[in-house]
Amino acid sequence: MWGRAAYGTRPQATASFVDAASRFGITTVGTLLAVPADLEVAEDLLKNDELPIRMVVEALGPNVEARKALETYAREGKSPNVDRLRIGPPTYPLDGSMLSGRAALFQAYADAPWTSGALSMAPGTFQDLVKGWASGKEGVVLDASGSLAVHMVIDASERSREADPSPVPGQARPLLRVDGVDLVEGDDRSRLALLAKSGWVVSLQPTRLPYRAYMAHAIGEERMKEALPYRSLVDAGVTVAINSNWPMSAQTFQPTQILKWAVSGGEGRSQEALSMEQALKAYTAGAAGALGLSDRLGSIEVGKQADLVVLDRNPLEMASSPELLPGVPVRMTIASGTVVFEERKTAAGPAPEKAAVAMAGKRPASSSVPPPPASRD
């Protein structure tokens, strides 16, 4: 839908999103499903000094025209500001969504026993992508939701380790990321450490937790016990990133709301809930890794860019009351050392809860303006 949107609607939609993102404390976003027109919009915003946050633009792999256009843009160094606008690896879907019945499972769906979903990519093509990464040629980003698709990713991790068990000293490997990982079944749960050993970053979307009831209806309560394995991945040593995937499978991209879902785990899923420290690390350092920017973003260190967010309360002191996180307003957002948003607290100002609601109301919501492409904020 976004790919077919008229160019005239794109600047307004993107500018509205960027403004809301900076108010929510977001300094960097990854935009999936991007097309060449998105680069034009970003360049215009840069020229007008209206792009205070970074955009890492990723095409959908099967969209050959967009993928080649973005690859050419990166190869020819066309970005007017590579810190604010850069090209990431294309995303290749290995299967579809569990909510749509298209995620590839080992067994049939509970609510549709005539199907177990389907792979969106031939196994040979998938193996070629992973081999390309192992050779150091290019980064690989996959989307794998169902248990069969995740099993293939874990198998590929094992083969890549056997073929090339250790990276060349001093040589950075390209990005290796898998999004989704909604269901991990059986013996594969004991093999999750293979993802860590091969260098995978697993990108998760806690915004899917409110849809737990729909997932349970689709796959059944028994398999639901092995779904959304957030804590299991962290305990296995996997680098985990959390983000929104807004607007495709999310109602919001507000970071504090996403943190709330991550640390609560959803109804009946407390064993997979992250601690507050784990969730914050996944949203910062993990998210930087998911975009291939760990060398410059994600933590406060000498030599990294000064991206900071000032909140009205300390999330680390709210572990026992995560339901209050969405009401914590952002007071200041700093990107690359520059204040891009500031809301001063005054005696006559609104209470924190009302301030958060006011900020949430500034999200792009006009029905006449389509949202920008899905974001990994």
Structural domains in the chain, CATH included, are: 89-290 (3.20.20.140)
pLDDT at 141 over 50: yes
Residue 138 is predicted with a pLDDT of 81
Please give the radius of gyration of the chain, using alpha carbons only, rounded to the nearest integer.
20
Contact 144, 95 (CB under 8 A): yes
**223-249 mean pLDDT:** 90
Tokens read off for 357: 């609601």
Average pLDDT over residues 322-343: 93
State residue 166's pLDDT score.
54
Q: Is 18 exposed, middle or buried (0-12, 13-18, 19+ CB in 10 A)?
A: buried
- Average pLDDT value for the chain: 85
Q: Does position 60 have pLDDT exceeding 70, yes or no?
A: yes
CA distances from 44 to 50, 147, 277, 312 (A): 8, 42, 38, 33
Average the pLDDT over 271-278 and give the result: 93
Whole-number Å distance between alpha carbons of 35 and 65: 8
CA distances from 151 to 26, 82, 155 (A): 33, 36, 6
Task: Please name the residues in contact with 178: beta carbons below 8 A apart, sequence gap of 6 or more.
Answer: 141, 142, 143, 144, 150, 153, 195, 200, 201, 202, 203
Q: At 356, is the pLDDT very low, low, confident or very high (cuts 50, 70, 90)?
A: very low
Distance in angstroms between the alpha carbons of the first and the last residue of the chain: 20
125-131 own/partner pairs: CB under 8 Å, 24+ apart: 126/92, 126/94, 126/152, 126/156, 127/156, 129/92, 130/156, 130/159, 130/160
Q: Compute the 3-state secondary structure of the chain and give helix, strand, coil in percent, each to the nearest 5.
A: 40, 15, 45
Q: How far is CA 47 from the centre of its chain?
A: 27
- 188 contacts: CB under 8 Å, gap ≥ 6: 147, 150, 151, 154
What whole-number percentage of the chain has pLDDT above 90?
A: 63
Q: Give the pLDDT score at 372.
A: 43
CB-CB contact of 297 with 273 (8 Å): no
Strands in 91-93's sheet, in edge-to-edge order, are 91-93, 140-144, 176-180, 201-204, 239-242
- Pairing mode of beta strands 85-87, 54-57: parallel
C-beta of residue 214 within 8 angstroms of C-beta of residue 222: no
Residue by residue, DSSP assigns 241-273 as EE---BTTS-S---HHHHHHHHHH-STT-GGGP
Please state the rounded mean pLDDT for residues 34-44. 92
* Alpha-carbon distance values, 88 to 73, 306, 313 (Å): 11, 21, 34
- Alpha-carbon distance of 339 to 205, in angstroms, equals 28
